[in-house]
Chain A
Amino acid sequence: MFEGLPILSAITFIPLAGALALMFVARIWPKGDDQGLERNAPRVALIVSLVVFLLALALTIDFDSADAGFQFVEDTSWLGGGIDYRLGVDGISILFVLLTAFLTPLCILASEKSIKTRMIDYMVAFLILETLMIGTFVALDLILFYLFFEAVLIPMFIIIGVWGGKNRVYASYKFFLYTLLGSVLMLAAILWIYNFSGQQLGAPTTNMERLITELKIPGGIQTWLWLAFFASFAVKMPMWPVHTWLPDAHVEAPTAGSVILAGILLKLGGYGFLRFSLTLFPNASVELAPLIFWMSIIAIIYTSLVAYRQNDIKKLIAYSSVAHMGFVTMGIFTFNLQGIQGGIYQMLSHGIISGALFFCVGVIYDRMHTREIAFYGGLVKRMPVYAAFLMLFTMANVGLPGTSGFVGEILTMVGAYQVSPWIAAGAALGMILSAMYALHLYREVIFGEQTNEKLDDILDMNRREVLILAPLAILTIVLGVYPSLITDITSASVENLIANFNAATAVAGN
């Protein structure tokens, strides 16, 4: 369908073009009609992001899932010295592109009413953010990847810092500096690889395809480089014990910011592990897999317990995100088909479910302006539709069979069981704990007697809110009962990844 067209560039840069157009329109808009501008900005942004979504959807349909390599590749010289502008998608990255393109319009729709100030700036920041997120997933050049990966910090810092809650300054600094510190270590490793590729391959390059297939990094150094990449991805993910920025950032970010943070940004870490750690440093990955398993299990159990003790709904969901990301890292580092497929599945499903949960929090926060669990109670009588939606997403978060959450968790645990039953047992314990905090939250907020008089005239969800949550609900169930929708697309690339991985580790084993 897209023969010879730079479709990936188009998907990546249409939001940016939309943002620039929005800024231009804001400049030439007649003075004094600020309201008209504020009203129309979200519509423009929505249309732009819907176009991107449709393109991404068409791309996914056009994608040849039997081909394990990169497709729709674009390759143009850029900075010289082996650093070029290369884009491409394979079975692993294409779904993340789709997820990003899918969540962004919903976020824009959700922000239309909840954002009270500086609507144009907000929409511009969001569209730029979309460009950068998609760019991260489609970049096939180490430097280009780093460029997008790191640049995400700029709009996110501004979104949290400007439209965030009371403590937004602290949260945005913490978010920025934490992730920056992780990333610069990765940058040091990238510099090393760039230099090393010059020695081993004749000319320095950051072409991912060439690095993956041709570069052979010696064992001892692999470990250091792996750790440097790990520093970046573990913070992004976030893994225990460097997860502490996440609850702060989530609590302070506006609803749509939280959705993007949980839905997409956390996936950058997992995607990075898959794309870089496993392919570039296979031996170090094997060597350090136990570390990952320990950290994952601790994350799953510890953060689940922490989540149970939270008073703030958003914080509870934030901690549950950390626990669920534990499943992802555990799955990826089993190095088998089920584990990695499960890890990808879990990331996608968590993107949908946690996004939906944050939208749900946004619904009641917009009405009552508090996220205290104790404030609520007995909402089922006032907001039956809301209760139904929240029920679905809570259950999906717990991993109830029939929802997408179940598929991801069971696949990662099957994968982990092949490595060690104990790891799987630890993760299973985490599932029980997740039921504990999720049901606790649901009971406290939805059931029980309504004691708070302020809730007397709370309204149920309006059409716009249903419109946001309905697609997420449908996806949660569809992916829960028909997993091959996703696994068919990913399997060829994942099998290829594992084959390469096994070949690399087998050579070193001799």
Chain B
Amino acid sequence: MLQTISLFAPQLVLAFFASQLLSTGAFAKKDISVGVRYFAVGVLVLYAVIGFLLGQPTGTAFKGALIVDSYSHYMNFFLGMSAAAALMFSKSFFQTEKLDRFEFSVLVLYCTLGMSIMVSANTLLALYIGIEMQSLALYVMAAFNRDSLRASESGLKYFVLGALSSGLLLYGASLIYGFTGSLEFARIAQVITADGATPGIIAGMVFLLCGLAFKISAAPFHMWTPDVYEGSPTPVTGFFAAAPKFAAMALIARLLVGPFGDITTQWQQVIIVLAVLSMFVGAIGALTQTNIKRLMAYSSIANMGYALVALSAGTQAGVKGMLIFMSIYTITVIGIFACILQMRIRNGMVEQISDLAGLSKTNRGLAIVLTIFMFSVMGIPPLLGFFGKFFAFVPAMEAGLAWLVVIALVASVIGAFYYLRLVKIMWGDENEQEFVQAPKTLRGLAVITALLIFPLLLLPMISIPAQSLISQAAASLF
């Protein structure tokens, strides 16, 4: 009992405080949203580090439904930190839009709880519960601005397509159950090792992957992404561009190398197709976008493609490459959204790329930070985005997928064009308007993430321990 508690301390912290905050908020006489927000940030940080504070215990619990290993510790840390960052940058937005309700913080906590179950899932049932818990919170958050037509539309769209993907996922899970007789990952792996890849199992696996591809918005399951990104309140977009993507990607990795570890050749094809399509859909789709949130949607589609390139290797190095890539991408996305949230003129938020014109003259600091992020997602060294791609592509090269690496690199050149356009607009065009002074939290968050991208994480005293931590996390899956 005590051991289970120490294993699941992160999840327990989240579940306990989320429920507490919800009931406190429900019965409070006055608006306590500010207090709840700060408390929730504290809870998320505690959630992020508690696994490390307890000395990274490992093991399974609840009759093997959930597993705790270095991998889940690493993921908890990242998910907690990025959710905390998202909560921080949502503050000023909701306050100025007069939308600040304590439920938002509680929803973020529940969503994070769902994600932490996802990354610890050890049976198909736990996997499904985690995904649904996370998604339901996200649907509500997408429609959080309930008076806005666009937000309601995006919430509904997200919900309908999410339900469809859950259906696919459940169908796949039921097929797997039917053909292996078990929901446990370990047992499924045993059956597959014994029986080989029977058609039923392959069909089930493909359905599972399709359902999960919805969650990471990999092409051809990406259709919802641009609309939902555009319609949702900006901090919500920033939240679900970062942590949930990473969690779903981590879940895919656990699923692929765990239960399906013996049929690498079968799932490799699926992953490669998803990767190639995502990279090109993302790169080409973004070319004509004028809304910066839609642009980020396509950018995330393309970046999921790069992460899948790393996974397609099917090796430990591949998982490590995916973790490095997604970690860097998550930091970058948080930074970019901290910048986008600063795009406010006197009449309210603006979202057009052309609104950034002449930013380097009116707001130099923001222009420099955003330029760093743009060159980083482009993958230009010495910024960290380059190293993300480097570590993502090396394993694919090792696995003999040189052609896939070349395709990925060519797609990244196409993608460079639209990031460059942003840089050009900021530095080259004449300005028409000035943004209002952004609150300190946003500016601070943007600068901190920019420093992480360049150059703090490149210092050897940080990069080497970080790498060994990630290697350890990846190794624990095998």
Contact = CB atoms under 8 A, between A and B. Distances in A.
Contacts, number: 92
Which of A146, A151, A153, A195 has the most CB atoms of chain B within a 10 A radius of its CB?
A195
B397 A195 contact: yes
Contact of B428 (A147, A162, A184): A162
Contacts of A172: 424
Closest 3 A/B residue pairs (Cβ): A147-B381, A184-B409, A191-B397
A162 B420 contact: no
B427 A162 contact: yes
B433 interface: no
A146 B410 CA distance: 17
Which of B381, B397, B467 has the most CB atoms of chain A within a 10 A radius of its CB?
B381
Contacts of A143: 390
B383 to A, nearest CB: 8
A445 B395 CA distance: 58
A38 interface: no
A150 B389 CA distance: 14
A12 to B, nearest CB: 12
A407 to B, nearest CB: 36
A157 B409 contact: no
A77 B468 CA distance: 14
Interface string A177-196: 10011001101100110110
Interface in B440-465: 458, 460, 463-464
Interface residues of B, number: 33
A161 interface: yes
Interface stretch (B138-146, B157-165, B411-419): B411-419
Interface string B388-410: 00100110011000100110011
A161 B425 CA distance: 10
A151 B417 CA distance: 16
A153 B381 CA distance: 10
Contacts of A181: 410, 413
Given A79-B387, A146-B381, A176-B416, A192 B428 contact: no
Nearest to B459: A78
Contact of A180 (B406, B413, B423): B413
B381 A79 contact: no
12 contacts: A79-B387, A79-B467, A150-B380, A153-B380, A161-B423, A162-B360, A168-B428, A173-B420, A184-B412, A185-B409, A187-B409, A198-B398
A150 B381 contact: yes
A80 interface: yes
Given A154-B380, A191-B390, A78 B463 contact: yes
Contacts of A198: 398
Given A80-B464, A80-B467, A169-B428, A177 B397 contact: no
Contacts of B361: 118
A484 B7 CA distance: 73
B177 interface: no
Nearest to A172: B424
Contacts of A148: 381-382
A195 B413 contact: no
B386 interface: yes
Contacts of A177: 413, 416-417, 420
Interface of A: 76-81, 85, 118, 121, 143, 146-148, 150-151, 153-154, 157-158, 161-162, 168-169, 172-173, 176-177, 180-181, 184-185, 187-188, 191-192, 194-195, 198
A78 B460 contact: yes
Which of B361, B406, B412, B458 has the most CB atoms of chain A within a 10 A radius of its CB?
B406
Interface string B185-200: 0000000000000000
B375 interface: yes
Given A77-B464, A168-B428, 14 more contacts: A80-B467, A85-B460, A118-B361, A147-B381, A148-B382, A151-B380, A151-B382, A161-B428, A169-B424, A176-B416, A177-B420, A180-B416, A191-B394, A191-B397
Which of B375, B387, B420, B458 has the most CB atoms of chain A within a 10 A radius of its CB?
B420
B427 A158 contact: yes
A204 to B, nearest CB: 8
Contacts of B386: 147, 150
A319 B461 CA distance: 47
Which of B380, B417, B458, B460 has the most CB atoms of chain A within a 10 A radius of its CB?
B380
A154 B375 contact: yes
B130 to A, nearest CB: 33
